[in-house]
Structure 1
Amino acid sequence: MGITLDQAQTVLDAMVRFASETKPGLPSSMAVVDAAANLVCFKRMDGASPLTIRMACNKAYTAIDWGINTIDVLRIFFSGENARDIAWFGDKRHAPIPGGVLIRSENGTIVGAVGTSGRTGQEDEELARVGEMTYQSLLKGL
C-alpha cells in the first residue's frame, strides 16, 4: 500500500512544526507524492516564495523518477567527471538539488517522496529527512 493522505498530512505537519521551531524566518513549501510522483498533499508556509511551490513538488518528483534522493542525483550527475548539464536530463521538472527524499515502506519499497524548498540546500535536506523520519515513526506506531 502507498502513502495515505492521513500519513502525508502527518508528515507535513511535522515538517511545518520543525521548520517553525528551527528557523521561523525561513518559510518553506513542502510536498508529498506517491510512488508514481502524483501529489498527495502539499503545504506552503505563510510568506514562502511562489517559486518554492514548484521546487518542492519537483524535488519530490525527481526523487521518484530517479529512485534516489535528490542530494544523490546532485552528487552523482553534477560533480566531478560525471558532471552533466541540466539539459542532458531532458525533463524540465528534474530538480537535482537537496531537499527531495524517498519514503520507503518497512520492507524498503518506495511508497512516495517528500520535497521541500525555501531554505539552503542543506536545510531543505534536513527538513525533508524530518518528513521521512516521521513516516517511519508512523509505521512503527510511535
Structure 2
Amino acid sequence: MPHAAPAGFQHGLTLDAARTIADATLAKGRELGLAPLTVVVLDQAAVPKAVLREDGASLARVEIAWGKANGVMAMGLGGRELLRRSTAMAGFVNALSDLTGGRAVPVPGGVLVKDADGAVLGAVGVSGDASDKDEVCAVAGIRAAGLAPDTGDPA
C-alpha cells in the first residue's frame, strides 16, 4: 500500500529527486575536475533531504553548503540575489545570518529548486570549489531531476 501524506502536508521534493540532485551535482563536479564537493539538498521545510560530502572535501563544507541552501530558502531568493543584497544591505544580511544560527551564506552555490509552475520545492547548497563553479554543479543536479533552478539571476 503506498504511503499517503497526512492531511495538509505536501511531499514537495521527493527523496528520489533529492538523491538525483545530489548525485548529479557531484558528477558534474567530477566532469569539470573541481575540488571535492559537498552538496546539501533541503526540502520545502528547509530540512536536509540529502547530504553528500566527497572524500577529500575540506573542513566545514557541510556547514557552508547548508548555509548556502538555507539562506536562499529563508529569503526565497537565489544566491546571486542574496549576494547583491548583502552588498547593498550588509547589516540586514548579517542579522539574517545571526537569526539562522549562521546558516545564511549569501553567495552563488545556493540555488532554489522549483517545479514547472514556479513553486519552491527546496534548495541546494554546494561548497568545495569557487562559488561560481559550485553553482554550475547545483544547476546541473537540479536539471538532472527534471526541476528548475533559480540562481537569483534572470534566466
For the aligned pair, the TM-score class normalised by the smaller chain equals 0.7 to 0.9
Q: Where in structure 1 do 4 or more consecutive aligned residues deviate above 6 Å? A: none
The residue aligned with 2:86 is: 78
Q: How many correspondences in the alignment?
A: 134
The residue aligned with 1:88 is: 95
- What SS does the corresponding residue of 2:132 show, helix, strand or coil? helix
Cα distance in 2 for partners of 1:134, 1:28 equals 17
- What SS does the corresponding residue of 1:58 show, helix, strand or coil? helix
Would you say 1:98 and 2:137 are equivalent positions?
Answer: no
Identify the match of residue 36 of structure 2 among 13, 27, 39.
Answer: 27
> What TM-score do the two structures reach when normalised by structure 2?
0.80
- What SS does the corresponding residue of 1:49 show, helix, strand or coil? coil
Matching residue's letter, 1:29: T
The residue aligned with 2:60 is: 51
Cα distance in 1 for partners of 2:51, 2:70 equals 13
RMSD: 1.7
Q: Please say if residues 116 and 147 of structure 2, whose CA atoms lie closer than 8 Å, have aligned partners that are also in contact.
A: no
Q: Please say if residues 102 and 132 of structure 1, whose CA atoms lie closer than 8 Å, have aligned partners that are also in contact.
A: no
Unaligned runs of 5+ in 1: none
The residue aligned with 1:3 is: 13
Q: Please say if residues 103 and 135 of structure 1, whose CA atoms lie closer than 8 Å, have aligned partners that are also in contact.
A: no
Q: Please say if residues 21 and 138 of structure 2, whose CA atoms lie closer than 8 Å, have aligned partners that are also in contact.
A: no
Unaligned runs of 5+ in 2: 1-10, 149-155
